[in-house]
Chain A
Amino acid sequence: SQKIEQNSEALNIQEGKTATLTCNYTNYSPAYLQWYRQDPGRGPVFLLLIRENEKEKRKERLKVTFDTTLKQSLFHITASQPADSATYLCALDDTGGFKTIFGAGTRLFVKA
C-alpha cells in the first residue's frame, strides 16, 4: 500500500542545534516533494520544494535532501530558534491521481 511516514513523536532540541526531520514514502514515484510548516490553529505554509533530479535544496537556514533510491527526504533547520517550533509536514505529488499527498507531520519543539 502507499504510505508517507513522518516521525509521530515530537522532536525536542536545544536552541542553536540542527533539527533533522525525516519523511519516508512507499509505493509512490513523486516528481517532487514539498515541506510545509503548520502552526497551531493555522493552515500549512509552503517552505521548500525539491525535485526528483535534485539531491539538495537550501533556503536560508533550511536544507532539504531527496533520495529517490531510499525513498526518503530529510529536512534540516540549522541554528534552530524557539520560533522554529511548529509542526512540519512533507507532501508529495501523486502523479497517478494528480493530487498532493501529505504526511501527518512531525512536531518540533526548540528550547531556549
Chain B
Amino acid sequence: SAVISQKPSRDICQRGTSLTIQCQVDSQVTMMFWYRQQPGQSLTLIATANQGSEATYESGFVIDKFPISRPNLTFSTLTVSNMSPEDSSIYLCSVESGRDHTDTQYFGPGTRLTVL
C-alpha cells in the first residue's frame, strides 16, 4: 500500500490569492491524481499528473487556474490560482494501487481550503 501525505492540511485564504498544495508519496508511482470534493458532493477529478509530461485536465478545469507540477515520481503540487469563494473545497491527491490491473486508489488526507 502507498502512504500519501498532503500539506497543508487546511488553510483559510483571501480572495484573489493563490495556494499551492503539496502531495508526497512514499513510493514511486507513474500517475498521480488531483480531486476536488465540495461539501456533500462526490469527488471530481481535476487532472492526472504524469512525471515528465504536462498534466491532463478534465472538462471544466484549466491549467491557468490549477497549474500542476510533477517533478519526480513521488511528488506533485497543485496550485489553486486567483481564488474565489467558489474554490472552497477539499482537495485530494491519489495514486493507483496497481492492484489487479484496476484503478483502485490510495488517497491522501486532503487539504481543506476556505476562501473568504
Contacts and interface: CB of A to CB of B under 8 A. Distances in A.
Contacts, number: 49
Of the candidates B92, B104, B107, B112, the one having the most CB atoms from chain A within 10 angstroms of its own CB is B104
B107 A105 contact: no
Interface residues of B, number: 23
A48 to B, nearest CB: 10
Contacts of B42: 4, 89, 101-105
A34 B106 CA distance: 12
B53 interface: no
Nearest to B100: A49
B94 interface: yes
Interface of B: 4, 40-43, 45, 48, 58, 92, 94, 97, 99-100, 102-110, 112
